[in-house]
Every structure is written in C-alpha cells, then in structure tokens.
Structure 1
Amino acid sequence: MHRSYADNIHGVEAILSRLKCFDLILTKDENQFIQDLIEFLSMFESTTTILSASKSYPTISLCLLLRMEIESLSRVDGTESLVIQEMKSLLSENFNNRFPLMPLYICAFLLDPS
C-alpha cells in the first residue's frame, strides 16, 4: 500500500485538492518518512517471502540464515532517519528473546544437504 501511494503521490495530492481535503495532504517530511519506511521494510521482503512459504517451504535449516539476515538488517548504521533508527533499535532490543540462537538451528544449518 505504501509503495502504491509513493508511486502516485502527485495524483493523490491532486485528487485531495479537488475534493478540498487539504488536511489529508501529507507534508514533505511525512512523504520522506513514507519513503524511508518503504526502503526499510523492503529490506525484509525476501525474508518475509521465505517465511510465508509463497515460493518455497521454510525449513529449520534456514533459521540461522534468516536470523543472521534479520539481525544485520536491524543494525543502526547512522545513515538512516531518526525514525528508522528507532525502529531498528526496537527491533534489535528484544531480538534474542524473540528469535533465540539455538543449537538446533546451528546443527540444522550445518547438516543441510543443499
């Protein structure tokens, strides 16, 4: 939905102007936040696709790889906006509790025949 909005910002603004709904038109800062959010969330797209099993069925052998991917995506590097930094901090804050590194994941990764 956000991508659809971002691709059609000018059209949405034109329609809202014609309808005299000026209070619904987002500011430049709000539009920038939407762009940052789209960029941040799109980094998780491949992981989400794998976990949702729409292309293939996830197996226990992928847990370690997916965990490492999510962990690296949630690191704050200082180049992103403050809101995205806060989201990354919140994501990584309880990461080990929500997705613990278990010996089973390591064994499954090492024994994966692929």
Structure 2
Amino acid sequence: MLRSYESNIPGIEIILRRLKLFDLILTPTENEMVRDLVDILSSFETTTTILSAYKSYPTMSEIESMLHSTGTESSVIEELQHLLSEYLDTRFPITPLNICGFLLDLSQLKIDINRYLT
C-alpha cells in the first residue's frame, strides 16, 4: 500500500486538494518517511515471500485430509491413501523445533495443537 501511495503522491495530493481534505495531505517530511519505509520494508519482501510459501504448498492438515478415504475412491486409490498415510510421520516428521515455530506463529492460534503435544 505504501509503495502504491509513493508512486501516486502527486495525483493523491491533487485529489485531496479538490476534495478540500487538506489535513490528509502529507508534508514533504512525511512523504520522505514513507519513501524510507518503502525502502526498508522492500528488503523484507523476498524473505516474506519465501516464508509465505504456504500459499503455494499444501499444509500437513491438507495432506492428511486428502489421505482419508471417503469410501468413494477406487481400491487402488484407497490403498495408495493408506500407504501414504501410514508412512506420513516417517517422511514428514514433526520435530520439537516445528512445534515451537508453530506455537510462536500467531496466524495458527485457531488450530488445535493437542495432537502435536504428545
């Protein structure tokens, strides 16, 4: 949002003047602070994108739910689901470090963690 604001400052100021919303127009010093913030926060963009890979990859709960049989699959699919489910903990172990990261991630507060605490 700040990046969008930064690239449209002149147009935004014109619109605010026409609407007589002078108190919403930032000073040159405030606009410079916005530019500095954009520069600082841009350095975190790549890291945030990498750490937000959950948008591209399924979560463990999504994988587990796909491996539960609904009874409408063919026998081959049911067998595959069973085999994958049986070895899921071996192939994707959940370590104490994963649990600590999970507990510290505020976006995960709604998830029941009891099964990971055993």
Return the TM-score normalized by structure 2. 0.46
Which protein has the larger Cα radius of gyration, Structure 1 or Structure 2?
Answer: 2
Return the TM-score normalized by structure 1. 0.47
Higher relative contact order (CA 8 A, sep 6+): 1
